[in-house]
């Protein structure tokens, strides 16, 4: 009787574990599909259309039709070019509005920043505030740096977060404003770098970054490293030996 109870308990535990695993797998599948849907929406220009809830429902109806294998409209040859023109014009109009809005907000932001005595400004238009002095030399234009950072828009929205683990890269690989700002820091220091659109991504929108955006970076400079060696760089030729350094056997000849 006791053995039967133990076996029943083991079976119940196994069933619970199996159900939990299945639920976990289903949860993971849902996360994958949700993330895939989000990436498709963001990376294929759909975000730029600024669909209303009603328009989004119509868009989803089209996706359902494709899922169910329904044929495209018979006049797709005539409809296609007009559809593309409509989508392009709508996206461009929305981007123009976003750019104008971002430029106006940036102008107000920089006007307030001008009054902050703790903020330094460079001739290029970059602004930065050293919040903790480091020590040693400044990075050079071709230096590699190891940093922790967080990038936000002026409304506080995070567009890039490298604050958890150190990130190492060459200053030659980043936008001009970020490169210049990091060159104002010393190892061990922290700073806030304010990058105007002209030194960032300009009028070119990126996922999470509207056109004409001012970028704000909170940075900790952990280390300054030598420049990276170019890929496929040929090996340096071996130095020629002077007579006094030549092997004795050669001198004897």
Give me the CATH number covering residue 204. Answer: 3.10.50.40
Q: Residue 253 pLDDT > 50, yes or no?
A: no
Token pair belonging to 249? 């056997």
Q: Is residue 196 part of a domain?
A: yes
List pLDDT tens digits, range 133-158.
999 999 999 999 999 999 999 999 99
> Is 50 buried (19+), middle (13-18) or exposed (0-12) by CB count in 10 A?
middle
User: Is position 73 within any domain?
Assistant: no
- Whole-model pTM: value is 0.66
Q: What share of the chain is helix, strand, coil (3-state, %, to 5)?
A: 45, 20, 35
Euclidean distance between CA atoms 200 and 159, whole angstroms? 13
- Report yes or no on 180 lying in a domain: yes
Residue 223 CA to residue 190 CA, distance in Å, equals 12
For residue range 117-131, list pLDDT tens digits in order. Answer: 999 999 999 999 999
Given 154, 201, 209, 224, the catalytic residue: 201
> For the chain, what is the mean pLDDT?
82
In a domain, 207, yes or no: yes
In a domain, 158, yes or no: yes
Structure tokens at 210: 């509207």
Would you give the DSSP letter of residue 46? S
Structural domains in the chain (count): 2
- Distance CA(74)–CA(55), nearest Å, equals 22
The C-alpha atoms of residue 179 and residue 36 are separated, in whole angstroms, by 33
Tell me if 116 is assigned to some domain: no
- pLDDT for residue 197 is more than 90: yes
Annotated catalytic residue within 149, 154, 193, 224: 149
Whether 204 is covered by a domain: the verdict is yes
> Looking at the chain, how many residues does it have?
253
Query: Does 32 share its domain with 126?
Result: no
Q: Which residues pair with 121 in a beta bridge?
A: 127
What's the longest Cα–Cα distance across the chain?
99
Q: Is 159 a catalytic residue?
A: yes
Residues 40 and 134 in one domain: no
- Asked whether the beta carbons of 158 and 151 are under 8 A apart, the reply is yes
Q: Domain for residue 40, yes or no? A: yes
% residues pLDDT > 90 (the chain): 51
Catalytic residue among 160, 169, 218, 223: 160
Catalytic residue selected from 138, 175, 218, 223:
175
pLDDT in the model for residue 232: 58
Strands 127-132 vs 158-170: parallel, antiparallel or unpaired: unpaired
**Which residue range forms the structural domain that includes residue 19?**
2-44
Question: What letter does residue 233 receive in the DSSP assignment?
Answer: P
CA distance 88 to 83: 9
Closest CA to 210 of 219, 200, 220, 218: 200
Catalytic residue among 154, 193, 217, 224: 217
Asked if the model's pLDDT at residue 70 lies above 70, the reply is yes
Q: Would you call 175 a catalytic residue per the annotation? A: yes
pLDDT bin (cut points 50, 70, 90) of residue 112 is: very high
201 is annotated as an active-site residue: yes
Which stretches within the chain are classed as H helix?
2-43, 53-67, 76-114, 176-182, 248-252
């Amino acid at each position: 009787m006791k053995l039967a109870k133990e076996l029943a308990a083991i079976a119940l535990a196994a069933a619970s574990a199996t159900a939990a695993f299945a639920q976990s797998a289903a949860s993971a599948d849902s996360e994958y599909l949700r993330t895939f849907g989000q990436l498709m929406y963001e990376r294929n220009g759909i975000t730029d259309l600024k669909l209303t809830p009603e328009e989004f429902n119509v868009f989803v109806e089209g996706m359902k039709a494709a899922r169910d294998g329904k044929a495209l409209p018979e006049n797709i040859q005539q409809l296609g070019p007009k559809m593309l023109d409509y989508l392009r014009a709508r996206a461009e109009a929305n981007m123009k509005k976003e750019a104008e809005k971002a430029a106006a907000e940036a102008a107000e932001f920089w006007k307030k920043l001008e009054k902050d005595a703790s903020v330094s400004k460079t001739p290029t238009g970059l602004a930065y505030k050293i919040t903790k002095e480091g020590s040693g030399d400044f990075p050079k234009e071709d230096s590699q740096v190891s940093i922790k950072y967080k990038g936000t828009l002026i409304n506080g929205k995070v567009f890039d977060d490298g604050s958890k683990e150190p990130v190492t890269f060459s200053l030659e690989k980043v936008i001009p404003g970020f490169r210049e700002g990091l060159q104002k820091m010393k190892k061990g220091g922290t700073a806030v770098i304010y990058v105007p659109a002209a030194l960032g991504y300009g009028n070119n929108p990126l996922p999470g970054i509207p056109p004409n955006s001012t970028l704000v970076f909170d940075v900790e400079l952990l280390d300054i490293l030598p420049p990276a060696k170019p890929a496929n760089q040929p090996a340096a030729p071996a130095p020629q030996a002077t007579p006094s350094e030549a092997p004795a056997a050669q001198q004897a000849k």
